[in-house]
Amino acid sequence: MTLFSLLKKEDYLMIKWPIAISVVGLALSASIYFGIDYFNGESVQDLRIAQSDFNSARSRVELIEEEEATIIEYIGRYRSLAQDGVVEDEDRLLMFERIADLRADNRLFPVSLNIQEQRTMNLSYPPDIREPGEPVALRSSEIGLSLNLLHEEDLIRLLNGILDSPGLFQLKACNIDLLSQEETNFIYLSRHFSTNCDILWYTFDLDPPEPDPYGYGY
pLDDT in tens, 12-39: 556 666 666 766 667 667 667 666 766 6
Question: Between β-strands 119-122 and 137-149, what pairing exists: parallel, antiparallel or unpaired?
Answer: antiparallel
Q: What is the CATH number of the domain that holds 200?
A: 3.30.70
76 three-state secondary structure? helix
Q: Is the pLDDT of residue 137 over 90?
A: no
Count of Cβ atoms closer than 10 Å to residue 26 Cβ: 10
- Is the domain of 100 the same as that of 56? no
Confidence at 89, pLDDT banded by 50, 70, 90: confident
Q: Are 199 and 142 in contact (CB under 8 A)?
A: yes
Domain of residue 39: give its range. Answer: 9-83
Round to whole Å and give the CA distance between 90 and 56: 42
Say if 32 falls within a structural domain.
Answer: yes
Question: Between β-strands 168-178 and 193-205, what pairing exists: parallel, antiparallel or unpaired?
Answer: antiparallel
Say if 3 falls within a structural domain.
Answer: no
The answer for 144, left when phi > 0, alpha when psi is -120 to 50, beta otherwise, is beta
Round to whole Å and give the CA distance between 151 and 179: 11
Say if 75 falls within a structural domain.
Answer: yes
Last residue of a domain, one of 66, 83, 100: 83
- Is the domain of 19 the same as that of 76? yes
Contacts of 192 (CB under 8 A, 6+ apart): 148, 149, 150, 151, 178, 179, 180, 183, 186
Q: What is the pLDDT of residue 187?
A: 56
Q: What is the pLDDT of residue 108?
A: 92
Say if 177 falls within a structural domain.
Answer: yes
Q: Is the pLDDT of residue 174 over 70?
A: yes
- Is the domain of 102 the same as that of 27? no
